[in-house]
Amino acid sequence: MKIGENRREVVEKWKGCDGEDVRSFAFRRELERLTGIEARVLYAALLLGETTLGDIAEVIDMQPRAVREHIAGLQAYHLMATVAKSQRESTISVPDELQAVVELVRAQLGVNAKLVEEAVGRAHERSGNQERQVGASIRSIVRLWGAERFEEAVIVATALREKFPDNGDAASILGASLLRTKPARDREADKALDAAAKLGCSKLELLPNMIRAKTQIQDWSGLREISRTRISNEPDRDVALAAHLKANSEMISTARVRGDRNRVAELAIEAVERVTAKLRRARLEVGYFNSLLGQRFDFARVYVDALNRLNPRGGDRLRVFEGVARLAAADVVVTDLLEIGVSALEDWWGDVERRPVADLSACKLLSRMLGKLEKI
């Protein structure tokens, strides 16, 4: 990488080739050109996250004016950015893509890296700012992931969780770290991620991690609960919807084994209506649209089959027709299912006609059902 060459272009150029080795090669030459002080300034900024000139000066024990000169030099190499917050203060940060090569900076500093890390830790302690302390620790944990030091990441995340037991982000990063161990510690991860959700963590990665943990431990009821009310606007996928359909499918299988047809019907129609809500919400990519249609038809058939088996007697057959009408309201109109519904309505009315006393309420009910059938 040449001095001043755009670092985003370099990362993109090498991304996907040979992982960390290629990335290291791309940045090593530029980092080797940095002075020891410049490397310390860069490493401090990497550890601090979004920070200020004063914070960096405190960490590396230098006058702010001298630090400002080194920051200007790093900016010339596209290694640092500043944004003015006010006339007197600017925020300083390192581009996100450079977090991937933090170990190179650490290696270049050698024993001095530890001194910077300790100074950053002390600065966070003095600030008393929980968000900053947690954020800095999370960045350290993510760097450990990048170096495939997963067990060490769990140790750091566990300490963070113990230090901040009421912080949802701390619980979330612990759960995510537990999922990355080999083998993954899924049950421990699930417990930590549940705690993160209860503590109000809003990290985007929380839900996918919860889905992964609950799927691995086969907690289908828990998976259904965390995914049943969430729908994304993505046109070609929906992680929460896929999790919900998976959970309902597994729970249907379990309900069938114990002969609980009411539960089968409840779960099946819930899945149908959930898919319909997604289809009505946004225009979807054709392949994904067709996939959802197929799944919806499968659940619809499960639903009607369960109702059929639940209501074999003539006087109860109306429930089967009502179920088919409910499917129609959810945009599911399939000829064979409609025929089952109409046949069930006929069975019910035949039972009414055989009653010894005329049932006026049944006549009104039939009129209402025929109205539904006409709409279908």
What is the reported pTM?
0.69
* Predicted local confidence at residue 119, as pLDDT: 85
Judgement on whether residues 1 and 116 belong to the same structural domain of the protein = yes
Q: Which of 76, 99, 125 is the last residue of a domain?
A: 125
Q: Which amino acid is at 163?
A: K
**Considering its fold, how many domains does the chain have in total?**
2
Domain that holds residue 34: 1-125
Judge contact between 177 and 153, C-beta under 8 A.
Answer: yes
Q: Which amino acid is at 47?
A: L
Judge contact between 56 and 45, C-beta under 8 A.
Answer: yes
Judgement on whether residues 142 and 192 belong to the same structural domain of the protein = yes
Residues paired with 82 in a beta bridge: 92
Q: What SS3 state is found at 73?
A: helix
Q: Which of 125, 148, 163 is the last residue of a domain?
A: 125
Q: What SS3 state is found at 235?
A: coil
> Does residue 108 sit within a domain?
yes
Residue 327's nearest CA partner among 302, 352, 351, 359 is 302
**What CATH number does the domain containing 75 carry?**
1.10.10.10
- Dist CA 193 CA 201 (whole Å): 9
Q: Tokens at residue 373, please?
A: 């059938």
> Does residue 183 sit within a domain?
yes
**What CATH number does the domain containing 195 carry?**
1.25.40.10
* Predicted local confidence at residue 376, as pLDDT: 65
* Predicted local confidence at residue 201, as pLDDT: 94
Q: What SS3 state is found at 173?
A: helix
- Dist CA 59 CA 101 (whole Å): 21
Task: List the pLDDT tens digit at each of the 376 positions of the chain.
Answer: 444 445 455 555 544 455 555 555 556 777 777 888 888 988 888 888 778 888 888 888 889 889 888 888 888 877 887 776 665 667 887 776 676 677 788 888 888 888 888 888 787 777 656 777 788 788 889 888 988 999 999 999 999 999 889 999 999 999 999 999 999 999 999 999 999 999 999 999 999 999 999 999 999 999 999 998 888 888 999 999 999 999 999 999 999 999 999 999 999 999 999 999 999 988 999 999 999 999 999 999 999 999 999 999 888 888 998 898 899 989 998 889 988 988 888 887 777 666 665 555 655 665 666 666 666 6
> Does residue 233 sit within a domain?
no
Judgement on whether residues 149 and 213 belong to the same structural domain of the protein = yes
- Dist CA 192 CA 210 (whole Å): 9
Q: Which of 105, 125, 145 is the last residue of a domain?
A: 125
> Does residue 231 sit within a domain?
no
Judgement on whether residues 47 and 135 belong to the same structural domain of the protein = no
DSSP per-residue string spanning 298-330: HHHHHHHHHHHHH--SGGGTHHHHHHHHHHHHT
Judgement on whether residues 140 and 65 belong to the same structural domain of the protein = no
- Dist CA 136 CA 157 (whole Å): 12
- Dist CA 95 CA 83 (whole Å): 12
